[in-house]
Structure 1
């Protein structure tokens, strides 16, 4: 089976957020994530740092307009584009803020948009490490969505969380050798759940916690360790209520490793203590 991991690996590169107060949201990411404004089409705010970037659109707060994944080379992007040919749409000017010409989008069965491209420039280490690494959604049609991303796009299932009756509750998907760059859980709505930044070590988690504490933005979940991915983490919220995760020690997975299966319980979500089980 053709997978992204073995043929055209992808990493989450940046996100396009919707906000009813884009200037305030931009100020949060500029101040706390040390992002700087970059040139963007009219009515868009684009911010970038070393290994993290965001585009902010005027719109209803709490939405993710697009998740952008970076290919390693123009040749690999062209290979992916050929394989997804009937799904491909032109990215337009917003797709070329951070990506070179040739970027394209695809839309999943529930309307989520993914942008694929090759970065215009290489990335440099940030002063305080936190690389944009994964994003997660709630979906009312988990099997349909996962089948699309696995069978059509080429993501690979790393772990599944299974409820007592045997139904899959959460699915973690990888696009390279990191445990997941995308995940979905079965829920009552189709909404964006959170996005995550991968740090380099436990001490970084401490430093980010102190950084948020200084502006009185407290942790609402964690610190702890997830079962799937085995990563250390905590979560805060931005001014729009978007959930932001800081992580360390995310597991790496071999291309031929079989998916893991976890019970749907608090220990799976946080082996150190209380879990946050969505409904």
Structure 2
């Protein structure tokens, strides 16, 4: 594993054909705030997060992950990472420079091993944010992003080697082998996870709520809005976090969660969990059963943007 220069997850950017419906969902139902909007482009902030935005929506013909963005501590660290990646033969989208997105900052983009666009940035201005109040069932922050991968072992190795991610836990199936890897870049149990899938795509993006009451209120609000629930509410064993998974209008899976585990990196040892054990999938036993039909909903459509950098 290389020296870790990544500090945290910033945002996930999505291109969608049904931009208007998506914008209504994320602002009217999911609880994000639209800011810095332009024609066919909206930056969505979480009221409790210092990040300028946690989701970006872009109108496009094809559905794709535009990019996943991570933070670094300084411009010098950004330059160091860019030089390391280039020396290792990783394809850069561009050299480090001033960003043209809200909060500006200094950063660069590159393609990971399967062609997803990744952005690394530093010195982005902090957004004015506030504490989420008791009973307020809107996202505090973007918790983590899970990627579907056709070659998850290689994807795990890429993020470990080039970005300093560490393995927290692994899920396995007795007959299918290892199926999901939880990766951390700080003391949160995971900021990124990698799932085995027939094709690269977004598995889900997860949003942290204030606490259990707010998480349940949010889950109920989304259900009352008629949004399709895939799985939950329940509590995972790996990460010890709660989960309620829903489909957005484009068929991307979105999660409400809370109480994701914080770990001591000096003493942590990764677990290998058999997710056919009911308590691994859901410690509480309150969620609908995880089966092949539930799992396939998060396979998502094949990403149409591999090795194609977004235009903005």
TM-score (norm 1): 0.87
Equivalent residue in structure 2 for 1:125, among 112, 122, 130: 130
- How far apart, in 1, do the equivalents of 2:128 and 2:160 lie? 28
Structure 1 67/269 Cα, relative in aligned 2: closer, same or farther at 3 Å? same
Structure 1 236/92 Cα, relative in aligned 2: closer, same or farther at 3 Å? farther
Number of the residue aligned with 1:56: 57
Number of the residue aligned with 1:250: 260
Number of the residue aligned with 1:241: 251
- 2:163 is the alignment partner of 1:153: yes
- 2:294 is the alignment partner of 1:271: no
- How far apart, in 2, do the equivalents of 1:242 and 1:21 lie? 12
Number of the residue aligned with 1:262: 273
Deviation of 1:62 after TM superposition, in Å, equals 4.6
Cα-to-partner distance string for 1:8-30 (whole Å, 9 max, x where unaligned): 34222222111111122112212
Kept in 1: contact 2:98–2:105 (CA 8 A): no
Deviation of 1:136 after TM superposition, in Å, equals 0.9
Kept in 1: contact 2:35–2:45 (CA 8 A): yes
Question: Which secondary structure does the structure 2 equivalent of 1:205 belong to?
Answer: helix
Number of the residue aligned with 2:41: 44
- How far apart, in 1, do the equivalents of 2:98 and 2:41 lie? 8
Number of the residue aligned with 1:96: 100
Equivalent residue in structure 2 for 1:20, among 17, 22, 38: 17
Question: Which secondary structure does the structure 1 equivalent of 2:106 belong to?
Answer: coil
Equivalent residue in structure 1 for 2:178, among 168, 172, 180: 168
Number of the residue aligned with 1:224: 234
Structure 1 143/217 Cα, relative in aligned 2: closer, same or farther at 3 Å? same
Number of the residue aligned with 1:183: 193
Structure 1 218/163 Cα, relative in aligned 2: closer, same or farther at 3 Å? closer
Kept in 2: contact 1:90–1:103 (CA 8 A): no
Deviation of 1:44 after TM superposition, in Å, equals 2.7
- How far apart, in 2, do the equivalents of 1:46 and 1:230 lie? 30
Task: Give structure 1 regions of 4+ aligned residues with deviation exceeding 6 angstroms.
Answer: 91-94
Number of the residue aligned with 2:306: none
Number of the residue aligned with 1:109: 113
Kept in 1: contact 2:97–2:106 (CA 8 A): no
- How far apart, in 1, do the equivalents of 2:184 and 2:191 lie? 5
Structure 1 239/266 Cα, relative in aligned 2: closer, same or farther at 3 Å? farther
- How far apart, in 2, do the equivalents of 1:12 and 1:80 lie? 16
Question: Which secondary structure does the structure 1 equivalent of 2:257 belong to?
Answer: strand
- How far apart, in 2, do the equivalents of 1:206 and 1:91 lie? 44
Number of the residue aligned with 1:2: 2
Aligned length: 275
Q: What are the ranges of 5 or more consecutive residues in structure 2 without an aligned counterpart?
A: 133-137, 297-312
Cα-to-partner distance string for 1:157-198 (whole Å, 9 max, x where unaligned): 101112325832111111111011111111222221110001
Question: Which secondary structure does the structure 2 equivalent of 1:96 belong to?
Answer: coil
Deviation of 1:137 after TM superposition, in Å, equals 1.6
Question: Which secondary structure does the structure 1 equivalent of 2:28 belong to?
Answer: helix
Kept in 2: contact 1:10–1:70 (CA 8 A): yes
Q: What are the ranges of 5 or more consecutive residues in structure 1 without an aligned counterpart?
A: none
